[in-house]
Amino acid sequence: MADKELWKEIYEKYARRMFFICRRYASDKEEAEDMMHDGFLQVFSSLHTFTDRGEGSLRAWMERVMINTCLQRLRKRDLLRESTSLEYTAEPSVDSGIQEELERATERIPVPVLQKFISELPVGYRTVFNLYVFEGLSHKEIGQQLGIKERSSSSQYHRAKSSLARQIKEYERKQR
């Protein structure tokens, strides 16, 4: 199979999933499309380095490339350093009620609305939230990835959760 045919097949199979990953890091649809485009360019130029480790490994590898592309793009625009460089400041921890509220939200609120709320978070909050919740990284790993302190990652995550909880409550109040 020629490279272009293989690329087309890969793109058609994975574009939707990769777009959703990029959308989590982007502030709008256009930025997500740009991130995805850059990510696929990186995937295609690095495909020769991919080592097949069984079913699902190509997708997992591509997801990692997309995430790294998104983070690199945010760093390039200096958005991460600017918004995540805040030192940890003591802040009341998010109570368990807010945490439970966020967990139940997916049952009550349409997913596109929740995605919109996440995309409206400040870029640093959004990035830490995505890396922690969706990518499963620890705050230590996030700190290393973004060049911030572990406690700053934790603080950003808790602020993101608090902000999302406020948005969810406001949304539900308006729906009554």
The mean-pLDDT minimum among 11-15, 85-89, 99-103 falls in: 85-89
Q: Where are the domains of the chain?
A: 3-77, 96-175
Residue 54's pLDDT is 77
Residue with the larger pLDDT of the pair 95 and 149 = 149
Tell me how long the chain is: 176
Class of domain 3-77 (CATH, top level)? mainly alpha
pTM of the model: 0.70
Beta carbons of 162 and 94 less than 8 angstroms apart:
yes
Task: Write out pLDDT tens, residues 125-134.
Answer: 999 999 998 8
Task: Write out pLDDT tens, residues 111-166.
Answer: 788 888 998 999 999 999 999 988 889 999 999 988 889 999 999 999 999 999 89
- CATH code for the domain defined by 96-175: 1.10.10.10
Burial class (CB in 10 A: 0-12, 13-18, 19+), 112: exposed
